Amino acid sequence: MTVRAGEPFDLARTAAEVAALLTAPLPAAGPTVAEGDPDTGEWRATTGEGFRAVPLWESGAEGDDGDHEDDPDEAEEAAQARLDALVAELDTRWGPHHRVAVHVALLLKEEGTPVPALFDALLAEDCYGDLSAWGPLPGPGDRWVGVSVGRSDGDAPLVMAAVVSDRPITAPPPPAWL
């Protein structure tokens, strides 16, 4: 669960929050730290060496038209439509995005192979959806931004997340057997 539980999806707010990540402070070094809400413990952000990840939206908000929580396929389609709208908005600002496969990091992690800290942080919060990514983007220093939506299994809420990095966001090389 995230601090976004119960909030309806708002495209303008979400796009503004992603854009604001371009100026977020990023630690140059140090461990990856997940921040939870002080009262509930729900995920609020994760920072690590050169990156910050945040939840943008979580399925299940009352009045969030089209959530379809009773039908996982419909819920995923509705969440994907929200992500597609966000990606289209960000494409108008920053140009075409590129896809970054997160499932490769998941396969490596399941195999016991270390994965880059940014991917490890996303997987730790059940953010398994592939990223739509842009970068380098103009601003203070080169920054890369990615957004995704996904869930760990059919019973878990869908979570839309964003990540900003001072390094290129690229998938780790796939395992040899893939």
pLDDT digits (tens, 9 = 90+) for 106-139: 999 999 999 999 999 999 999 999 999 999 998 7
> Which residue, 110, 106, 93, is CA-closest to 150?
106
Reply yes or no: is the peptide bond before residue 114 cis, omega within 30 of 0: no
pLDDT digits (tens, 9 = 90+) for 1-11: 899 999 999 99
> Which residue, 31, 146, 36, is CA-closest to 94?
146
147 and 132 in contact (C-beta within 8 Å)? yes
pTM for the model: 0.92
Question: Which of helix, strand or coil describes residue 60?
Answer: coil
Residues β-bridged to residue 147? 132, 162
Residues β-bridged to residue 51? 48, 165
